[in-house]
Amino acid sequence: DQQVKQNSPSLSVQEGRISILNCDYTNSMFDYFLWYKKYPAEGPTFLISISSIKDKNEDGRFTVFLNKSAKHLSLHIVPSQPGDSAVYFCAASAGYALNFGKGTSLLVTP
Amino acid sequence: DAGVIQSPRHEVTEMGQEVTLRCKPISGHNSLFWYRQTMMRGLELLIYFNNNVPIDDSGMPEDRFSAKMPNASFSTLKIQPSEPRDSAVYFCASSGRTSLEQYFGPGTRLTVT
Contact criterion met (CB below 8 Å) for B19 and B78: yes
Mean pLDDT value of segment B44-53: 94
Query: Alpha-carbon distance B25 to B69, whole Å?
Result: 11
Contact criterion met (CB below 8 Å) for A100 and A91: yes
Cβ within 8 Å, pair B56-A45:
no
Q: Which amino acid is at A26?
A: T
Model pLDDT, residue A2 = 86
User: In terms of C-beta density within 10 A (0-12 exposed, 13-18 middle, 19 or more buried), how is residue A27 classed?
Assistant: middle
Task: Kindly list the residues from chain A whose CB atom is less than 8 angstroms away from the CB atom of residue B50.
Answer: 96
Q: Is the minimum CB–CB distance between B100 and chain A shorter than 8 Å? A: yes
Model pLDDT, residue A95 = 85
What percent of chain A is predicted at pLDDT more than 70?
100
Cβ within 8 Å, pair A43-B106:
yes
CA B59 to chain centre: 11
Q: Is the minimum CB–CB distance between A53 and chain B shorter than 8 Å? A: no
CA atoms within 13 A of residue A91's CA, in its CB half-sphere: 28
CB atoms within 10 A of CB A90: 26
Structure confidence by residue, pLDDT tens digits, B77-98 = 999 999 999 999 999 999 987 7
Q: Cα dihedral angle (A10, A12, A16, A18), rounded to 10 degrees? A: -50
Among B50, B56, B107, beta carbon nearest to A43: B107
Model pLDDT, residue B1 = 63
Among A34, A49, A102, beta carbon nearest to B42: A102
Contacts for B78 with CB less than 8 Å, ≥ 6 apart:
B18, B19, B20, B21, B65, B66, B67, B68
Tell me: pLDDT of A6 over 90: yes
Model pLDDT, residue B62 = 86
Cβ within 8 Å, pair B56-A97:
yes
Q: Is the minimum CB–CB distance between A94 and chain B shorter than 8 Å? A: no
Q: CA-CA distances (angstroms) from residue A41 to A46, A56, A63, A87, A106?
A: 16, 31, 26, 11, 16
Mean pLDDT value of segment A26-49: 95
Among A2, A93, A100, beta carbon nearest to B100: A93
